[in-house]
Chain A
Amino acid sequence: MAKEGDNAAANTGHESQFVSFEIGGTTFLIPIDRVIEFRTWTEPTQVPHTPSYVRGIVNIRGEIVPIYDVAARLGRGATDPGARHVVVIVRGHEGRSVGLLVDSVTDIVAARDADRAPMPTIEGGDATPFMAGVVFSADRILGVTDVDRLVEETFPHGEYAAAEGEGPPA
């Protein structure tokens, strides 16, 4: 299956929907068809030998689902989550379910394909590896998060380096 955001580029009339969420005052988007459900934050079970942006695991209808701190993953510092924080359960690659810890979920944004653009690349790699592209919405430019890269621990570092370098959460 093609990644959302890549397909039907020629069809400028096509409209996609996104869920917008906030992290530290910045709004990001996630393709709506990736979203399974929203949950309020509950303390997950810790998992050892994982990067600090992996907050642990929770039980979602009998499945063990990992929770990622999106702010920490984007290099904006770890979230100090409370009851008002939201976990967005999304569909990851290979049919995985993963949870994204965000400050809040704000809106549903519709964007025509003409209003979308890919991220620029710079020499040696992507300018912002965790964004799949941008959406021009009203007067704002919003980044569309690349869920697969967000949860990929070997990206951009090796898995082992990431696990050892950041150490287990204290």
Chain B
Amino acid sequence: MSAEDQELRQIFLLECEELVTLAESSVETLRAAPTEDAIHALFRAVHSIKGGAGAFGLDHLASFAHVFETYMDLLRKGKSTLDDAAVDLLFDGVDVLRQLSDEARDGEKASTQRYEAALAALRAAAGLEEDAAAAKPPPADFDPMAEFEAQMAAAPAADEAPRRKYKIRFVPGPKLLEAGIDPLRILGVLKTLGELQVEIAGQLPPLADLDAQICAWSWTGTLETAAPQADLDDVRDMIDDLAVFEFEGEAPPPAPEPEKPVAAASAAPAPKKQAAAQAAEPAKPRDKPVATVRVDVPKLERLGNMVGELIITQAFLARQASGLDPETHRPLFRALDEMGQHIREVADAATSIRAQPLKAVFSRFGSLVRDLEKTTGKRIRLEIVGDHTEIDKTVVERLSEPLTHLIRNSIDHGIENAEGRAAAGKDPIGQLRLSAEQRGAQVVIELVDDGKGINRERVLAKAIERELVSPGAMLSDQEIDELIFLPGFSTADQITSVSGRGVGMDAVRQVIEEMGGNVALTSRPGEGTTFSLTLPLSLAILDAMVTLVGRQNYLVPISAIIDCLRPEASAIVRMDDRGAMLAWRGQILRILPLATEFGVAGAESDPTRAILILVKPSGGETVAIQVDDLIGQEPVVVKSLERNYRKVRGVSGATILGDGRPALILDLSSLMAVDGRNRRMPRAAAEG
């Protein structure tokens, strides 16, 4: 295969991923309520996969898609009913399509068991004979066009339907002939749909420039047909990429069709599809085609780095200028202000370029939940909300594992089995809701189940047994719930195949915190549990409070700060020689002097003359961090300490302040783990 073909194949496989996702969401829609739109969308997705797979010699994928499509056709024509069994069959089909396309992409061969089971089931449902052509990979000269012609010809001639006149335009692209498609055959297909009148346009290039592999002509004309517009969509999809095929209804049909296949077409994620679709109905503004470019990640990273440097330089300039008289240097200050504004906009743009919709990771959970339904015997309805929310690409990639674990955990430990749910008077189908939402510079992802909630008695007993908590400890409900984030904690008395895999909730917390986010948990006994993950939009830029301790600056992530205060002497409590505590809103909080933790000389030791920053890292207690002073809040560029040095406990990274000096950014959870008095100190950290 030539390098170019190889590249085209990769592009197809990327599209294939999108198509599988689209197919899956169509099946989800079908499960909720069968609509013709969803059936058409599914059919088209599978059809596109078949066409591409055939063209790139992915025989298994092509033949499987073919069987799938045959079955879909029965559903589409109402010859087979769309019951629960059918939906399961479709889901299985989609899973196998994904498996096959993943295999083609990774060049790996997984077990064929599932493939064969699904193939046999689909074939049976589609009424195909065991030895039908589709059972074997199609022959090398597999001709998707012939297939297509037969299919279009077989479509019922809807004579009773109103006829509609379309303006059509067909411009073969340079690859059409190469793909083995004769333009005349396309026109032939159109002719089967109704009355076709076309004019030929174009001119042969001079003989010297003539390339017989490129069609020099195009056709414009009218088609009067009773066929639904979906058939025209099918023609367009058939030659998608290879030629431009546009159509436009001249007048609205006398009786508007109840279904709107056009809407289904424009819901397709692939923007170029939308670009090709000149639908009869005016597209809504949000459906407007957007031109896209594929960019190598290193290029994006370089852009991000340069934006970071700009922010640092700007902070430097601002600090340099701060000594000048604003009256005499008015234009300079105005220019600095403007530059700051522009740099913020560039930074936002750079962040948004790196952003990806969470759909990329959320879409995989449908199949995960269906698998878990099978292994646990529980019935689950997964609702996904806000999967268009965008977040940094790296975050999207790293979210897959922790979210998978949380979902497994909710289904395994949270949601009851059928008897349990019946006894509790709940819907026999467990509800799981995965939602995402942007709030300011953060994205909040929530996973809500309607299960039995956390069994606090058992959690506490387990924590005491594991010596994570001393037997007499008085813990609030919230504190008990959060014990499950401790390393080595697992509530399942017997490790199940589903969630007890040695990767605990502590791993979930760790991954989220490594990305500068945090995890919170609320549980209502008998009603369910909510996990909420808060993540920064961008990993590169952090909103931080700059503090002063001795002569050192330390940065505290704004997202973790609850309050900053200079305490009254009456609010400071000293029980013993182990340090002071702060009485705050009816709670007693530990005061953590940063100077002591980090061994900084020349810092203020008296809390009443210092500033206390109240922070609450995820899954931890609220702690008052003592610093000498606050310098101010600013967006800072996160730099790696590990690039040239190593990871340091209590520190998540560094940045460069306006004076050009580095300053450390606090990692609050590990800071508290460093502190020996914390009863939540993870044992692993203590042992190094």
- Name A's B-contacting residues (CB within 8 A): 44-50, 54, 57-59, 62-66, 92, 96-98, 153, 158-160, 167-170
Contact = CB atoms under 8 A, between A and B. Distances in A.
Contact of A49 (B552, B601, B649): B649
B585 interface: no
Contacts of B646: 153, 159
A66 B599 contact: no
Contact of B644 (A63, A167, A168): A63
Nearest to A151: B645
A65 B648 CA distance: 14
B152 to A, nearest CB: 60
B599 A48 contact: yes
Nearest to B653: A64
B599 A64 contact: no
A155 to B, nearest CB: 13
B614 interface: no
Interface residues of B, number: 30
B662 A167 contact: no
A62 B470 CA distance: 47
Contacts of B600: 46, 48
Contacts of B552: 45-46
A170 B640 contact: no
B217 interface: no
10 contacts: A46-B598, A49-B648, A49-B650, A57-B654, A57-B662, A59-B660, A59-B662, A63-B639, A92-B644, A98-B645
Contact of A63 (B598, B601, B643): B643
Contacts of A169: 599
B309 interface: yes
Which among A49, A50, A92 has the highest number of chain B CB atoms within 10 Å? A49
B556 interface: no
B17 to A, nearest CB: 34
A18 B649 CA distance: 36
Contact of B648 (A47, A92, A96): A47
B96 interface: no
Contacts of A66: 644-645
Interface of B: 308-309, 312, 552-553, 597-601, 639-641, 643-646, 648-651, 654, 656, 660-664, 674, 688
A45 B646 CA distance: 15
A49 B553 CA distance: 16
Contacts of A47: 641, 645, 648, 651, 664
Contacts of A62: 308-309, 312, 639, 656
Given A45-B664, A46-B600, A169-B599, A57 B645 contact: yes
Nearest to B688: A160
B480 to A, nearest CB: 31
Given A96-B643, A167-B599, A170-B599, A48 B660 contact: no
A154 B597 CA distance: 22
A64 B645 contact: yes
Contacts of A170: 599, 601
Contacts of B643: 63-64, 96
Contacts of A158: 688
A69 B648 CA distance: 18
B662 A48 contact: no
Contacts of A159: 646, 688
A16 to B, nearest CB: 25
Contacts of A59: 656, 660-662
Contact of B641 (A46, A57, A92, A168): A57
B651 to A, nearest CB: 7
B663 to A, nearest CB: 6
A49 to B, nearest CB: 5
A64 B654 contact: yes
A149 B311 CA distance: 36
A96 B644 CA distance: 5
Contact of A50 (B640, B648, B661, B663): B648
A98 B639 CA distance: 16
A45 B661 CA distance: 7
B34 to A, nearest CB: 58
B597 A48 contact: yes
A47 B598 CA distance: 8
Contacts of A153: 646
B684 to A, nearest CB: 12
Given A46-B552, A64-B654, A168 B640 contact: no
Contacts of B597: 48
Contacts of B312: 62
Pick the 3 closest A-B CB pairs, nearest first: A168-B599, A160-B688, A48-B598
Given A45-B654, A64-B656, A96-B645, 16 more contacts: A46-B598, A46-B599, A47-B651, A48-B648, A48-B650, A48-B664, A57-B645, A59-B656, A62-B309, A63-B643, A64-B643, A64-B644, A64-B654, A96-B643, A98-B644, A159-B688
Contacts of A54: 645
A156 B598 CA distance: 24
B648 A58 contact: no
B484 to A, nearest CB: 28
Given A59-B656, A66-B645, A167-B599, A45 B651 contact: no
Contacts of B645: 47, 54, 57, 64-66, 96, 98
A86 B639 CA distance: 25
Contact of B662 (A45, A49, A96): A45
Nearest to A169: B599
Contacts of A48: 597-600, 648-651, 664
A153 B308 CA distance: 30
Nearest to B671: A48
Contacts of B553: 45
B461 to A, nearest CB: 33
Nearest to B549: A46
A64 B648 contact: no
B547 to A, nearest CB: 13
Contacts of B649: 48-49
A54 to B, nearest CB: 8
